[in-house]
């Protein structure tokens, strides 16, 4: 083991000491807004962390329950006057839980398959994606949903409702390819394809590449790249995340790119925080810092360059929901709105509580279904209040959550990524 591998788990005292318990974070917390319970607020959870660090509280059921109910949306960070790094605290606490608590065998099996195999293996993702595609395209899904059979399956039926639509052909066919810039090449960038996005966000990934090409970018999708490790970090599996990070450092840092682009806010936030995975490993940290400096969300990157204005009008009313790890994790709020404002005839309506979590939060909506559904319901109420026909966002997890909610309500709102609207506006755009 390297120094970073053997670092002690658990939140650091100097991070905990930054909290002055003022409570300004409470109203920003989705679980506190839902439950009104101090122990399910950031301040309450920090109290748990301090008690455990001082040996006054065991890492037992109460500790686990209240920390795992946290969405890790980091909205509290945006409202905190003391700069408490709550995201780092909750991730360290979950690492401590993973090292201390033995979960039931079903939970261990699910995590082992999801995080050690499915998320990191093109073979398993292709297989799972193909099976789910056949289930959806064959009409079996439609039949089961209309028959009401799924309602009798309890949790399994609820999970089925959250299953993303598989998009054939999968994006894997583009990995290893280079896409030339349209017109003069102004930038040379690498694109992170993601993991699950390869099978359920293939069209979004293709749209992202087209928009970058339209803006003078030569886009390479490097072979050998892997999952960014965001889910692993959020669930306390830092060693697994570190292995994935090392792989991506090897693949992306040797290319001499101007930027490493992602269209997933959750991925980008973790990639920009890769240096935290290599504390105690000077060489690894230096490489991770170079990688982090190159990493850009696609909206961040496009808003920073001279945007190609050959956009045709889109006479749509659009509202925007801030993805948590873009707004709170990366502190990027204006870039997506700036891009939407560039589209002719697009009417933008600001959403109330736009930066409040939608309830997706990685696998949170699958594990804490009732809480996630309640949070989603309030988000959709806010979206509907704008009268917008399109909900735009900046993260695949948010897209899937919002689409599932819109479908359940049976309304006609479209849910798209900001870059998909740009792609739509560039098609047959002005020369």
Q: Which residue numbers in the chain have pLDDT < 50?
A: 1-8, 431
Give pLDDT, residue 391: 97
Domain with CATH 3.40.50 in the chain: 310-426
Tell me the CB-side half-sphere exposure of residue 31, using CA atoms within 13 A.
Answer: 27
Q: How many CB atoms lie within 10 A of CB 185?
A: 12
Give me the pLDDT at residue 8, please: 47
Among 2.40.110.10, 1.10.1060.10, 1.10.150.80, 3.30.1150.10, name the CATH number for the domain at 13-100.
1.10.1060.10
d(CA 314, CA 299): 18
Average of per-residue pLDDT values in the chain: 91
pLDDT at 365: 85
pLDDT the model gives residue 5: 41
- pLDDT, one tens digit per residue, over 151-198 is 767 667 777 777 889 999 999 999 999 999 999 999 999 999 999 999
Q: Is 149 exposed, middle or buried (0-12, 13-18, 19+ CB in 10 A)?
A: exposed
**What per-residue confidence (pLDDT) applies to 115?**
82
Integer angstrom CA distances of residue 220 from 191, 197, 395: 6, 17, 21
Query: At residue 321, what are phi and psi to the nearest 5 degrees?
Result: -105, 125
Q: Environment class of residue 83 by beta-carbon count within 10 Å: exposed (0-12), middle (13-18) or buried (19+)?
A: exposed
The pLDDT value recorded for residue 363 is 83
259-262 and 317-320 as β-strands: parallel, antiparallel, unpaired? unpaired
Q: What angle do CA 44, 53, 232 make, to 5 degrees?
A: 80
- Whole-number pLDDT of residue 429: 55
Burial profile 200-218: b = 16 or more Cβ within 10 angstroms, e = fewer: bbbebbbbbbbbbbbbbbb
Per-residue pLDDT reduced to its tens digit, 240-283: 999 999 999 999 998 899 999 999 999 999 999 999 999 889 99
Q: Are strands 347-348 and 295-297 parallel, antiparallel or unpaired?
A: unpaired
The DSSP result for 372-430, as a single string, is HHHHHHHHHHHHHHTT-SEEEES-HHHHHHHHHHHHHHT---EEEEHHHHHHHHHTT--
The CATH architecture annotation of domain 310-426 reads 3-Layer(aba) Sandwich (3.40)
Which CATH number applies to 171-303: 3.30.1450, 2.50.20, 1.20.1050, 1.20.120? Answer: 1.20.1050
């Amino acid at each position: 083991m390297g120094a970073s591998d053997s670092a002690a788990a658990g939140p650091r005292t100097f991070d905990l000491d930054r909290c002055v318990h003022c409570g300004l974070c409470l109203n920003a917390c989705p679980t506190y807004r839902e439950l009104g319970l101090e122990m399910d607020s950031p301040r309450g959870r920090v109290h748990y962390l301090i008690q455990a660090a001082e040996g006054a509280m065991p890492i037992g059921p109460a500790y686990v329950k209240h920390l795992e109910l946290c969405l890790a949306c980091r909205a509290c960070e945006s409202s905190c006057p003391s700069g408490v790094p709550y995201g780092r605290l909750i991730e360290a606490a979950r690492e401590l839980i993973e090292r201390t608590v033995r979960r039931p065998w079903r939970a261990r099996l699910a995590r082992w398959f999801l995080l050690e195999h499915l998320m990191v293996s093109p073979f398993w993702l292709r297989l799972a994606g193909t099976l789910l595609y056949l289930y959806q395209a064959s009409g079996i899904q439609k039949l089961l949903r209309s028959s009401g059979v799924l309602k009798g399956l309890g949790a399994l039926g609820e999970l089925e409702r959250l299953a993303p639509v598989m998009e054939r052909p999968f994006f894997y066919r583009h990995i290893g390819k280079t896409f030339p810039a349209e017109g003069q090449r102004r930038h040379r960038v690498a694109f992170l394809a993601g993991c699950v996005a390869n099978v359920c966000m293939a069209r979004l990934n293709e749209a992202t590449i087209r928009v970058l090409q339209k803006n003078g970018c030569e886009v390479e999708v490097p072979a050998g790249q892997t999952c960014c490790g965001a889910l692993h970090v959020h669930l306390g599996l830092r060693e697994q995340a570190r292995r994935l990070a090392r792989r991506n450092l090897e693949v992306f840092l040797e290319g001499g790119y101007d930027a490493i682009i992602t269209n997933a806010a959750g991925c980008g936030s973790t990639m920009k925080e890769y240096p935290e995975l290599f504390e105690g490993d000077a060489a690894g940290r230096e490489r991770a810092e170079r990688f982090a400096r190159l990493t850009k969300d696609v909206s961040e990157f496009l808003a920073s360059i001279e945007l190609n204005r050959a956009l045709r009008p889109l006479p749509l009313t659009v509202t925007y929901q801030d993805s948590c790890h873009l707004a709170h994790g990366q502190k990027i709020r204006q870039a997506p709105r700036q891009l939407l404002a560039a589209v002719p005839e697009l009417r933008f309506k600001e959403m109330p509580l736009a930066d409040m979590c939608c309830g997706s939060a990685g696998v949170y909506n699958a594990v804490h279904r009732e809480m996630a559904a309640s949070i989603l319901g309030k988000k959709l109420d806010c979206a509907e209040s704008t009268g917008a026909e399109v909900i735009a966002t900046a993260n695949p997890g948010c897209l899937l959550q919002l689409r599932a909610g819109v479908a359940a309500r049976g309304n006609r709102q479209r849910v798209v990524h900001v870059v998909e609207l740009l792609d739509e506006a560039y098609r047959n755009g002005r020369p």
